Amino acid sequence: MTIDNLKIEFEKKFNKKAEHVFFCPGRVNLIGEHIDYNGGMVMPCAITMGTTLLVAKNDEHIFRFRAVDFPETTDVSKQSTYSKTGDEWFNYPIGVIHEFTKAGIDVTGLDMLFSGNLPIGSGLSSSASIEVLTGHALNEMFNGGMDKVELALLGKRVENDFMGLNSGIMDQFAVAMGKDSNAVLLNCDTLDYEYLPFEIGDYVLAIVNTNKPRKLVESKYNERFNECRTALKLLQQNLEVTHLCEISIEDFTKNRSLINDPVIENRALHVVSEDERVKKAKDALVSGDIKTFGELMYASHDSLQSLYEVSGKELDTIVEFSKTYEDCIGARMTGAGFGGCAIALVKKDSFDDFKEKITNYYNEKIGYKPGVFSSVIAEGVRTVV
Ligand code: ADP
Ligand code: MG
């Protein structure tokens, strides 16, 4: 929906004009998967698609939640504390209000209309988008005085404590801090970050959505989180580290026998080697070696497939096709996995052909079509009007 149409929709729902419009993108992670909760380096970027929020204050001390994409609505009176009720979408913004209230920021009544163009539950982080979007809006409307890193951290607390998913900081950081045409190289332990110009010459970043119905992501995610904690505890018998990503490949090789479960060992090997790949990917980007960057993407996918076991036949089919396509130099699943999206670096001139051929290939193997689009790296959360 265009902003003008959203404004009309807002007036219809609330009988008044929207005072402000805010936008927050989604993200893809270029490389560094299942790394953020292991204290390592990731390389996400914000994308053009995202979530829009229109707001107007009210004097009634009520928060009214409406969405274009979901039928459920709720009105919540201002309280000193909030809790999650059910699984409806509005729990995300309520969680954000809870965090603002906890931080002692006096948020009073607000009428809100949300609308997004990100595929939901597809690993492009529509949840981080709505969290950081709501945070930015409250911060602007009620003079919260938070910077964007604080908004990202607040969004993470909503995801972890309010919604109950043990995810790391990457998604919220990427959608808050994203920069036009730049990847964000983020150390998830220290939150040190730098922008890396994503100059990929004649290539485009293609996003391929598996369109797989969402299942199991949360439970498997939490399972991997716990497996990494187990691996860390065992390795800490010999190594003085607080995160898996502090361990070099050499130290891991020397100490891997401390882990007597081959599954846990594989999980840790993925984490340690993926963290190395991110560093190599940075060097490749800086030196303009996009071919090496692409190879690292393939290597990342292989590791996620065979060691970390978070891929699936849909994501594997996309990467398998990409490997056979001459004008594609790298592809991998992005996000938590099991379904969701893959990304690929494809020659600009061949994108339409790639789209057609991968659609047919995927459809034949999987039985339904994927979503294929080319994307541009965009700015993080912002005030539109
Ligand atoms: P992902 O972050 O991979 O897209 P999640 O399951 O983490 O998937 O988050 C999706 C949830 O976020 C949706 O089910 C909904 O509750 C909320 N959400 C995302 N986009 C919107 C939107 N445009 N309007 C309302 N709620 C949204
Ligand atoms: Mg999410």
Instruction: Tell whether 125 is in a known binding site.
Output: yes
- The Cα-based distances of 325 to 178, 198, 317, 330, 350 in angstroms read 30, 22, 12, 10, 10
Is-catalytic flag, 111? no
Query: Is domain 3-197+379-383 classified as CATH 3.40.50.2020?
Result: no
Query: Which ligand is located closest to the Cα atom of residue 89?
Result: 1
pLDDT at 375 over 80: yes
Q: Of 74-88, 116-130, 212-226, give the lowest mean pLDDT range.
A: 212-226
pLDDT at 257 over 90: yes
> Per-residue confidence at 21, pLDDT binned at 50, 70, 90?
very high
Q: Percent of the chain beyond pLDDT 70?
A: 100
Element (H, E) at 58: none
- Cα(124) to ligand 2 centroid in Å equals 7
Atom of ligand 1 nearest to the CA of 87: 16
Atom of ligand 1 nearest to the CA of 123: 3
Cβ–Cβ under 8 Å, residues 38 and 278: no
Nearest CA to ligand 1 atom 6: 121
Cross-sheet strand order for the sheet of 20-29:
74-77, 62-67, 110-116, 44-57, 20-29, 382-383
Query: Which ligand is located closest to the Cα atom of residue 86?
Result: 1
pLDDT, one tens digit per residue, over 30-49 is 999 999 999 999 999 999 99
Residue 200 structure tokens: 């990929």
Mean pLDDT of 64-85: 97
Nearest Cα residue to 294 out of 305, 307, 280, 308: 280
> What are the helix (H) ranges across the chain?
3-14, 91-102, 126-141, 148-157, 170-177, 217-235, 249-255, 262-286, 290-306, 313-324, 351-366
d(CA 266, CA 129): 32
Annotated active-site residue in 111, 171, 275, 316: 171
Is the whole-model pTM more than 0.80? yes
d(CA 74, CA 110): 12
Mean pLDDT of 209-224: 86
pLDDT at 29 over 90: yes
3-state secondary structure of 182: strand
pLDDT at 218 over 90: no
ipTM confidence score? 0.99
> Per-residue confidence at 219, pLDDT binned at 50, 70, 90?
confident
**pLDDT, position 215:** 74
**pLDDT, position 152:** 98
**pLDDT, position 52:** 98
- Cα(212) to ligand 1 centroid in Å equals 16
Q: Percent of the chain beyond pLDDT 90?
A: 94
pLDDT at 214 over 90: no
**pLDDT, position 166:** 80
pLDDT at 217 over 90: no
> Per-residue confidence at 239, pLDDT binned at 50, 70, 90?
very high
Nearest CA to ligand 1 atom 15: 89
End-to-end CA gap in the chain? 16
3-197+379-383 shares its CATH topology with 203-375 = no
pLDDT at 213 over 90: no
The mean pLDDT of the chain is 96
3-state secondary structure of 304: helix
- Cα(126) to ligand 2 centroid in Å equals 6
Cβ–Cβ under 8 Å, residues 22 and 175: no
Residues 6+ apart with CB under 8 A from 169: 36, 152, 153, 156, 186, 188, 191
Beta bridge partners of 74: 65
- Cα(299) to ligand 1 centroid in Å equals 29
**pLDDT, position 167:** 84
- Cα(250) to ligand 2 centroid in Å equals 34
69 close to ligand 1 (CB < 6 Angstrom):
yes
d(CA 365, CA 41): 34
Instruction: Tell whether 270 is in a known binding site.
Output: no
pLDDT at 59 over 80: yes
Supply φ then ψ for residue 107, to 5 degrees.
Answer: -95, 125
Q: Which residues surround ligand 2, an ion (CB under 5 A)?
A: 127
- The Cα-based distances of 51 to 70, 234, 287 in angstroms read 13, 42, 34
pLDDT, one tens digit per residue, over 326-365 is 999 999 999 999 999 999 999 999 999 999 999 999 999 9
Mean pLDDT of 314-319: 98
Assigned CATH class of 203-375: alpha beta
Nearest Cα residue to 54 out of 65, 44, 62: 65
Instruction: Tell whether 35 is in a known binding site.
Output: yes
Mean pLDDT of 368-375: 96
Residue type, 154: L
- Domain ranges, ordered by start, for the chain: 3-197+379-383, 203-375
Mean pLDDT of 359-385: 97
Nearest CA to ligand 1 atom 7: 127
**pLDDT, position 165:** 84
29 close to ligand 1 (CB < 6 Angstrom):
no
